[in-house]
Amino acid sequence: MYPFTFTKVSDTAEALNAGHRGGRYIAGGTTLVDLMRETVERPETLVDISALPLRGVTVTERGGLRIGALVRMAEAAAHAKVRTTYPVISEALELSASAQLRNMATIGGNIMQRTRCTYFRDVTAGCNKREPGSGCAARDGFNRTHAILGTSDACVATHPSDVAVAFAALQATVHVVGPDGARSIPFADFLLRPGSTPEREQALQKGELITAVEIPAFPRPLKSGYLKVRDRQSYEFALTSAAVALHVRGGVIREAKVAAGGVGTVPWKLPAVEKHLIGERPSQALWAEAAKHAADGARPLEHNRFKVELLKRTVERQLRIVGGTK
């Protein structure tokens, strides 16, 4: 680990000041410390933001939910409002990592977490994300866990977050504050596809700080849930996952929010699947038909071809679990 100076800030202005001078924010630290130890990350200054007042979970005026950036994963998952209103968020959180890590990691940090691509984590391997221009060792290497959607010639790394998949499905908004004031970024625009600049992962300006993630209100009842498929039963990143939220009224699906994880360079929203569901009546046939579109545009690699079929089946299964089989 490279040496770094450390400062703990007590208010947002102080944080932004430190961030503007090139300081690196640290919240839970579960990704950052790990990557610093691998020398993938080499910040010169760490800015501890854990004392900032960003810990609340509040209902917004419009009936949505605003989760403070420093709310820990465990707290967010256990929060009564989150559990009752958006089970997909609670489930995605509780299927992530381990109880210990969820006690440390925060919501803001979770969506900032970096890929688990082993070549990214190994500073002796070529990786355009870590070292632009050094090539992508994963593309022709061992790429079982890599992305099949949203990839580019430069990068095929998967975004590892589970809750980000739920946020993508629910069309959350990321609230940030920076030297030029506060702004809001639609979740779909917050995480960036690699394109030719895989080193750019979030739509944040230098020194900007996430303050909250806001989930919009949906018509009630909204049934939702998260399914995570992985080799072992727990404590593993997703091979595939599906976040599904459905609003059914009068026997007809009025709202459908679907996204997939483990398959994309960013959490992968599935508008084609959603479109297929809207206006239809829940049935096993509908789930199967809609899920056929889940892997549209997929570009599998040597070791992750199975993800194409697995993704469709994952989405189909989760549509059934959330929507029932009537």
Pick the stretch among 186-194, 209-217, 235-243, 270-278 that binds other proteins (CB under 8 A): 235-243
| 162 versus 214: smaller Cβ distance to other proteins | 162
Least Å distance, CB 239 to other proteins, is 7
| 26 versus 170: smaller Cβ distance to other proteins | 26
Indicate the DSSP class of residue 191: B
Tell me the DSSP string of 21-72. TT-EEESS-TTHHHHHHTTS---SEEEE-TTSS---EEE-TTS-EEEETT-B
- Contact status: 325 vs other proteins (CB under 8 A): no
Least Å distance, CB 182 to other proteins, is 26
- Contact status: 309 vs other proteins (CB under 8 A): yes
| 265 versus 314: smaller Cβ distance to other proteins | 314
| 78 versus 188: smaller Cβ distance to other proteins | 78
Taking CB under 8 A as the criterion, which residues in 97-156 touch other proteins?
97-101, 103-104, 116, 118-119, 122-125, 137, 140-142, 145
Least Å distance, CB 52 to other proteins, is 14
Give the dihedral of Cα atoms 54, 60, 65, 70; nearest 10 deg.
0
Q: Are strands 45-48 and 240-249 parallel, antiparallel or unpaired?
A: unpaired
Check: CB of residue 167 under 8 Å from CB of residue 188.
Answer: no
- Contact status: 317 vs other proteins (CB under 8 A): yes
Least Å distance, CB 62 to other proteins, is 33
Tell me the DSSP string of 74-136. HHHHH-HHHHHH-HHHHHHHHTSS-HHHHHH-BHHHHHHPPP--HHHH-TTS-BTTTSTTS-B
Least Å distance, CB 283 to other proteins, is 17
Taking CB under 8 A as the criterion, which residues in 17-46 touch other proteins?
26, 29-30, 33-34, 36-37, 39, 46
Q: Which of 151, 170, 126, 172 is nearest to 266 (CA)?
A: 151
Q: Residue 226 and residue 260: Cα distance in Å, rounded?
A: 9
Contact with other proteins (CB under 8 A) among 231, 250, 251, 326? 231
Pick the stretch among 58-66, 93-101, 254-262, 277-285 that binds other proteins (CB under 8 A): 93-101
Indicate the DSSP class of residue 208: -
Taking CB under 8 A as the criterion, which residues in 43-72 touch other proteins?
46, 48, 50
- Half-sphere exposure of residue 318, counting CA atoms within 13 Å on the CB side? 33
Whether the bond into 43 is cis, omega within 30 of 0: no
| 172 versus 239: smaller Cβ distance to other proteins | 239
| 29 versus 179: smaller Cβ distance to other proteins | 29
- Contact status: 171 vs other proteins (CB under 8 A): no
**CA angle 76-270-64, nearest 5°?**
35
CB neighbour class for 196 (10 Å; exposed up to 12, middle 13-18, buried from 19): exposed
Size of the site for other proteins (CB under 8 A): 54
Q: Which of 167, 137, 170 is nearest to 154 (CA)?
A: 137
Write out the residues near other proteins by the rule CB under 8 A: 1-6, 8, 26, 29-30, 33-34, 36-37, 39, 46, 48, 50, 74, 97-101, 103-104, 116, 118-119, 122-125, 137, 140-142, 145, 229, 231-237, 239, 306, 309-310, 313-314, 316-317
